[in-house]
């Protein structure tokens, strides 16, 4: 039952309160669970800096992203933009984001979210790095904005996709990749995603834990937080729902992540 294919976790929030001080043990357990590389998610200027520092400490294993999450979009300034561009010039920082729109609770106003998102879409074009995208309850505005960016040459992944079959197919047709988390193991609120997951083209699929959030419900051992070592449970659920071999799913997703984020090939 143990998987030996190498996984890549494209979303881990090491900067979150729940994971503070745990990076070393999380990485150790991730390695024993066949996770061959991790993308550490920057969601603010501060966390984009700390995730890059972690990537430097674990060079070749951890890579980072740099951006401002829609929750924090009210604080967007041109000074932040300049500082993010400095971080993005570093080869260990492989994507622009987390950025996007989240109208679920509107921690920042929708207008400010669109402003910060538009600026980051432009940055991705400037630095020629892929986007790490977040979209929640904002499909129409989000789709219109990314469509324009894609037409101008942008590419990226809609991380923690939780939408419907129609939304998955719309993103895939646009040429965007799609990241799936432990949401897919949630039999109540994950139902739409469970039905949509087989319609995501395999060459566009990525696996992520979004740790410490969204612990896979099918995991045998559970800690109070989710961690990259649990990624295989997401792979397993995806494989079951698609009627595919688990190794084949992992191999495809790993190769997609290596391609999208231009990671060094895993040995
Ligand atoms: Zn997100």
Cα-to-centroid distance, 135 and ligand 1 (Å): 7
* Å from CA of 175 to ligand 1 middle: 19
Give residue 180's pLDDT: 98
> How remote is the CA of residue 120 from the centroid of ligand 1, in Å?
15
SS3 267: coil
What is this structure's pTM?
Answer: 0.96
pLDDT in tens, 134-190: 999 999 999 999 999 999 999 999 999 999 999 999 999 999 999 999 999 999 999
Reference 162, options 137, 140, 128, 144; nearest CA is: 137
Q: What is the pLDDT at residue 1?
A: 45
The mean pLDDT of 107-124, rounded to a whole number, is 98
- Per-residue model confidence as pLDDT tens digits over 56-71: 999 999 999 999 999 9
Predicted confidence (pLDDT) per residue in 7-55, tens digit: 999 999 999 999 999 999 999 999 999 999 999 999 999 999 999 999 9
pLDDT at 221: 77
pLDDT of residue 166: 95
In 3D space, the residue among 217, 99, 73, 219 whose CA is nearest the CA of residue 159 turns out to be: 99
pLDDT value at position 220? Answer: 86
What separation in Å is there between the alpha carbon of 60 and the centre of ligand 1?
24
pLDDT in tens, 237-263: 999 999 999 999 999 999 999 999 999
pLDDT range class, residue 222, cuts 50, 70, 90: confident
Cα within 13 Å of Cα(101), Cβ side = 21
Q: How far is the CA of 253 from the centre of ligand 1 (A)?
A: 19
Residues 6+ apart with CB under 8 A from 143: 170, 171, 174
Residues forming a β-bridge with 179: 206
- The pLDDT confidence band at residue 4, using thresholds 50, 70 and 90, is confident
Separation of alpha carbons 64 and 38, rounded Å: 8
Ligand 1 centre and the CA of 159: distance in Å?
A: 6
Q: From the CA of 100, how far away is ligand 1's center (Å)?
A: 8
Residue 2 clears pLDDT 70, i.e. is over it: no
Question: For residues 220 and 117, which has the higher predicted lDDT (pLDDT)?
Answer: 117
Residue 197 has pLDDT above 50, yes or no: yes
4 vs 89, higher pLDDT: 89
- State the distance from the centre of ligand 1 to the C-alpha of 98, rounded, in angstroms: 7
- Dist. CA 115 → ligand 1 center (Å): 18
Taking the centre of ligand 1 as the mean of its atom positions, its distance from the CA of residue 57, in whole angstroms, is: 24
pLDDT for residue 214 is more than 60: yes
Ligand 1 centre distance from Cα of residue 116 (Å): 15
CA of 1 to the centre of ligand 1 (A): 30
User: Residue 64 contacts by C-beta under 8 Å, 6 or more apart in sequence?
Assistant: 39, 40, 41, 42, 48, 51, 52, 54, 55, 87, 92, 93, 94
Mean pLDDT estimate for the chain: 96
């Amino acid at each position: 039952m143990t998987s030996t294919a190498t996984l890549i976790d494209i979303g881990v929030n090491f900067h979150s309160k729940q994971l503070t001080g745990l990076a070393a043990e999380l990485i150790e357990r991730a390695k024993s669970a066949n996770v061959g590389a991790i993308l550490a998610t920057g969601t603010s200027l501060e966390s984009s800096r700390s995730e890059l520092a972690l990537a430097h400490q674990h060079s070749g294993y951890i890579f980072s992203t740099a951006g401002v999450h829609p929750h924090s979009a009210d604080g967007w300034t041109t000074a932040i933009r300049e500082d993010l561009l400095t971080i993005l010039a570093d080869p260990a920082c492989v994507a622009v984001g987390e950025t996007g729109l989240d109208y679920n609770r509107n921690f920042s106003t929708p207008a400010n979210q669109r402003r910060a998102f538009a600026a980051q879409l432009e940055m991705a074009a400037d630095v020629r790095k892929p986007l790490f995208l977040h979209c929640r309850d904002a499909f129409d505005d989000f789709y219109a904005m990314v469509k324009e960016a894609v037409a101008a040459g942008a590419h990226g992944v809609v991380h923690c996709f939780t939408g419907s079959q129609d939304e998955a197919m719309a993103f895939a047709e646009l040429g965007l990749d799609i990241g799936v988390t432990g949401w897919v193991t949630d039999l109540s609120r994950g139902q739409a995603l469970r039905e949509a997951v087989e319609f995501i083209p395999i060459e566009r699929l990525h696996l992520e834990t979004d740790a410490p959030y969204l612990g896979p419900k099918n995991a045998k051992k559970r800690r109070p937080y989710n961690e990259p070592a649990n990624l295989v449970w997401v792979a397993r659920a995806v494989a079951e729902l698609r009627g595919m071999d688990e190794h084949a799913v992992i191999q495809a997703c790993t190769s997609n992540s290596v391609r999208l984020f231009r990671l060094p090939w895993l040995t």
